[in-house]
Amino acid sequence: MDNFRNIGLIGRLGSKAVIDTLKQLMRFLEERGLNVILDEKIAEVIPGHGRQTCKRKMMGEICDLAIVVGGDGSLLGAARSLARSDIPVLGVNRGNLGFLTDISPQDIEERVAEVLEGGYSVDSRFLLDVSIRRKGESVGEMVALNDCVLHPGKATRMIQFELYIEGQFVYTQRSDGLIVSTPTGSTAYALSAGGPIMHPKLDALVLVPMFPHTLSSRPIVVSGNSELKLVISEENSTYPTISCDGQADFSLVPGDVISIRKKSHKLRLLHPRDYNFYQTCREKLGWSSKPGA
């Protein structure tokens, strides 16, 4: 426990269940003599809490561990803010699937106690830096843990773009867009679009076309160190959008160039010691739980 003295708590807004779990966590942690620091946004909806608060980006500087209560979306948002500080992050599931937030509320005190006492495994997940240039000038930057998605935005028309990998031209494509996913995101939107499931330890990216106007277009798996470039064709009559983790959007214009590369900082995701990726897939994706079934 000497490693985890200052514990930051982050929660999804708009959920009574999340607030109840956070209050339980606060009591539990303080009974163990630990200092609790609340994300200032969640602190606003817990009147009279009496705890120290801070901005999320500062939490990585003053805390030894961040616990996120919510769904995978909550952890994605926290990861983008905290990855630069190298703070370990632990997820408590108050959402739907819970691929990243794998501690259930029913086991919260037992599981968190195990982690505090050193009973955990560390999962290193890489993120993506996404930058947009327009006429040679930088106009936007974003970060993604799951994926970045090029899509038509509010329009329902196909878009045309060129794909380059490591400076080499790959293809010009007309489609509803392209999903560029990390292994973390391979069980999210990319999976729904027909992409492969990648083990989190893989150093790879998968590129999944969205309804391409050709029968021969298939997902491509490339090195995680690859630098990708998407060029929005001048022939487009609509303005597409680039989205990161489904939470941050940027409107594009014909001629824009999107560069995608691995971020230098990684997310340190903690799991209980008995965490098993394949067991998570069985539980979340409905795989058979019996050998030979």
Residue 223 CB-half CA count within 13 A: 5
- CA dist 245 and 260 (Å) reads 14
Task: Detail the residues annotated as belonging to a binding site for NAD(+).
Answer: 72-73, 146-147, 157, 174, 176, 187-192, 247
Are the C-beta atoms of 54 and 62 separated by less than 8 Å?
Answer: yes
| Backbone φ/ψ region at 166: left (φ over 0), alpha (ψ -120 to 50), beta | left
Give residue 81's identity as a one-letter amino acid code: S
- Can you tell me the distance from the alpha carbon of 71 to that of 88, in angstroms, rounded to the nearest whole number? 17
- With H, G, I as helix, E, B as strand and everything else as coil, classify residue 278: helix
Distance CA 125, CA 183 (A): 8
Q: How far apart are CA 126 and CA 259, in angstroms?
A: 16
4 contacts 35 by C-beta, under 8 angstroms: no
> Rounded CA gap, 226 and 222, in Å?
7
- In terms of phi and psi (left: phi > 0; alpha: psi -120 to 50; beta: otherwise), the region of 86 is left
Q: Do 203 and 225 touch, CB atoms closer than 8 A?
A: yes
**Whether the Cβ atoms of residue 193 and residue 186 lie closer than 8 Å to each other:** no
Active site residue 203: no
CB atoms within 10 A of CB 43: 18
Determine which one of 2, 39, 72, 129 is catalytic: 72
Q: Reduced to 3 states, what is the DSSP secondary structure of residue 42?
A: helix
Q: Catalytic residue positions?
A: 72
